Chains A and B, each alone.
Chain A
Amino acid sequence: MVFLKRGKQMKTVITATGNNFESPFDRRFGRAAWFCVYDDQNQEVTFHENGFADAGNGAGTKAAEKMVELKIGKVISGDFGPKAKDLLDKFEIQMVILQEDDIAVGDIIKRMQK
């Protein structure tokens, strides 16, 4: 039997500017270029392009809906708009605000694995 060090297993989204581990973290949520999905159950990482990054409006709402669709448990980003915040709150998705600019997505994942 495998006991994980961490409590609940879930999928985490980290907003990213590109689609690999070296890509810098994107501080915007709705308008982030890519969503990096990290599954801490099997340590798998996938990248999803954000199709609404250049949408005229409602990018935050659409992004939040996508989080629900992907069954995400927590989102790490730099800032959340009011609408995205309300939605994520409603669907009980944990929001994490990281105020660092030059950090790569891979480094954040490493920090979580520690």
Chain B
Amino acid sequence: MPRRRRLRKVVAPPNFKGYRPYGSGRNAVDYVELFYEEYEAIKLADYNLMNHEEASSLMGISRATFARIYESARRKIAQALVGSLEIRAVYGNAVLDKSWYSCLKCHVRFTIPRSLNQEECPVCASKEIELLNK
């Protein structure tokens, strides 16, 4: 039996559902699935410019595992660019590091501390909120 996959911590999920190429002259495009943890790896390493050591500890995985996820993320993006494929963000093996909610009306993301007993958006007071980590 293979070893159980540890869940990778993701601070915030990507803000998009996917990316689609345009101008490639094809309509029905294939897609690659970019996992949340792969998005997070790219974000930490190439956007926040962390080294792999810091990034891996933030995600609660070993440096080697981080490197593997990072590599697969880069390969998927390269595949998508070269083959003009769609990129879809899918959940993968991620766990969001806290209970974050999203407001369906004004799209802010927020936490609800225990002492605060209200299930509404802190900015627009809308009751239409959604839990991000399912």
Contacts and interface: CB of A to CB of B under 8 A. Distances in A.
Interface stretch (B23-31, B80-88, B104-112): B104-112
A112 interface: yes
A89 B113 contact: yes
A82 B11 contact: yes
A7 B110 contact: no
Contacts of A6: 125
A89 B124 contact: no
A58 to B, nearest CB: 15
Contacts of B108: 76, 96-99
Given A7-B120, A74-B122, A114-B124, A95 B110 contact: yes
Secondary structure at the A interface, as helix, strand, loop or mixed, is mixed
A89 B88 CA distance: 31
A99 B109 CA distance: 9
Nearest to B107: A99
Contacts of B12: 97
**What bracket does the count of chain A residues touching chain B fall in?**
20 to 34
A73 interface: yes
Contacts of A74: 110, 122
Interface in A89-114: 89, 92-99, 108, 111-112, 114
A73 B58 CA distance: 26
Interface string A67-100: 0000001101000001001000100111111110
Contact of B112 (A76, A94, A97, A98): A94
Given A8-B116, A82-B11, A82-B58, A94 B124 contact: no
B123 A76 contact: yes
Contacts of B118: 7-8
A88 B33 CA distance: 34
Interface of A: 5-8, 12, 73-74, 76, 82, 85, 89, 92-99, 108, 111-112, 114
Closest 9 CB pairs of A and B: A92-B113, A96-B110, A97-B109, A92-B115, A7-B118, A95-B111, A98-B108, A96-B122, A94-B113
Given A95-B111, A97-B12, 7 more contacts: A6-B125, A73-B116, A76-B122, A94-B113, A95-B110, A111-B124, A112-B122
Interface of B: 11-12, 15, 58, 97-98, 100, 106-116, 118, 120, 122-125
